[in-house]
Amino acid sequence: MNFANPVFLAIAAFAPFALFIWTFLKARREKALRAISMNPPVQRFFALQGALMMTGLVLCLVAAARPQWGKSLETHVAKSRNVAVAIDVSRSMLAGDVRPNRLERAKADVADLIDSLQGDRCAIIAFRRTGVVLSPLTDDRAFLRSALESLSPDSAPRGETDLGSAVRASLDALDPSADDHNAIIVISDGGDLRGGALEAAKLAKKRGVRVFTVGIGDPKKETAIPAEDGVGTMQFQGREVKVKLEESALKALADASGGRYVPLATAGTAETTLGAIYRHFLRQVAGMEQNEAEMRRGERYVFFLVPGILFVLAAAMFSRGRMRREKLSSEQR
């Protein structure tokens, strides 16, 4: 037998001592009130009352300690989805048209998505020339946040940005046996420089996995990219390199897979966070029912609580007022 709250057992151990003190004080009081005569039967009633009250309190305290023995199998049915989040870590994602920059805004919004998972599993992929899995599918939010915090332009091999590689790496991270419950989110500023996005989108559609693309940045205004040494801006052939959000490739990728393109507003309002996008769109992906079995110890406190209450009630029946009424009634007769 185990007890979930054993501290109540320690309290119960003092019950006999408390009864002794109560009996002793009561005897002194009765001795001082010799003027009020009491026949022995009534005195025996008080002794019985004390024994009943002590037994009831001890049983209630044992019940409060939550005795447990035996085991019971509880089955819970839950729905879960698998989401692979691919984040563009190319240097263009360091542009400051979104504060503090595109990459940091993406990381903040993925953190919001992680908080919205509600039991679903997530994988995190970084991509530039190729995709790199930073976190496999898991529902461990702490591990996902740790992988997210480490995200930087050095998280994936340098080279031309390849959206197709992001989709393929995401597909590899997802369980193919659960494709009805899988989805992909690609976060990028849209620069698909290798042209493999549509082929990857067709592969995803063939597997039944929808790709949701999220465009981050300003599609109307070009913004300079910080230099690698952190001083000034990136230069190419003596000219400053500027970029803007290129939505066409992201829209085409989403359409080809049956997903949806969502531009991430630069203002960062609650309606355009990744958590909101996840709740509005990705929750439409069918959930996979999972039976989760859990062995639990049987709670047996009721076996002590019910008799404990009955003993306390029985003790109340032998209250002094009741005994006095019974005595007066007998004298009147």
The domains of the chain are located at 2-66+301-332, 77-291
Whole-angstrom CA distances from 232 to 25, 116, 224, 226, 240 are: 88, 38, 9, 6, 10
Cβ neighbour number for residue 295 with a 10 Å cutoff: 8
Is 290 in contact with 82 (CB distance < 8 Å)? no
Q: What are 133-153's pLDDT values in tens digits?
A: 999 999 999 999 999 999 999
Encoded amino acid at 130, one letter? T
Q: What are 42-90's pLDDT values in tens digits?
A: 555 566 777 777 787 888 888 888 787 766 555 444 457 889 999 999 9
What is the pLDDT, as a whole number, of residue 263?
85
What is the pLDDT, as a whole number, of residue 167?
95
What is the pLDDT, as a whole number, of residue 44?
57
Which helix (H) or strand (E) segment is 183 a member of? strand 182-188
Q: What is the C-alpha to C-alpha distance for residues 213 and 85, in angstroms, rounded to an integer?
A: 10
What is the pTM (predicted TM-score) of this model? 0.62
What is the pLDDT, as a whole number, of residue 159?
86
User: Which residues of the chain register pLDDT less than 70?
Assistant: 1, 15, 19, 22-47, 70-79, 193, 265-273, 277, 279, 281-298, 318-333
77-291: CATH architecture: 3-Layer(aba) Sandwich (3.40)
